[in-house]
Amino acid sequence: MQDYYDVFVRNWWRSNPGWPNGLEPWPGRKTYLRKHVTHEDALEICEKYNATHTPGRLSRKAEFEDA
């Protein structure tokens, strides 16, 4: 039986002037790119997204989780 995964992007920080460097750790809302894909496809989607999108100040990156 094969496992499936959901691929998403989210920010890892939020702006907050009360924190050092103005950034507070804050895993943001997930925005799904693809759902119910194989492990290999999830890795490929994340690698392509992260290679073509700058994470920026809030460290927005693609990840995946069990479906």
pLDDT digits (tens, 9 = 90+) for 13-50: 999 999 999 999 999 999 999 999 999 999 999 999 99
Q: Which residue has the higher pLDDT, 57 or 1?
A: 57
* pLDDT band for position 7 (cuts 50, 70, 90): very high
Whether pLDDT at 1 is above 90? no
pTM for this one? 0.92
Phi, psi (5° rounding) for residue 48? -65, -45
* pLDDT band for position 51 (cuts 50, 70, 90): very high
Q: What is the DSSP letter of 1?
A: -
User: Which amino acid is present at 47?
Assistant: E
Q: In what order do the strands lie in the sheet with 31-37?
A: 31-37, 5-10, 61-66
Alpha helix positions (H), 1-67: 39-52
Cα distance between residue 67 and residue 57, in whole Å: 29
Give, in degrees to the nearest 5, the angle at Cα 62 between 61 and 63.
Answer: 120
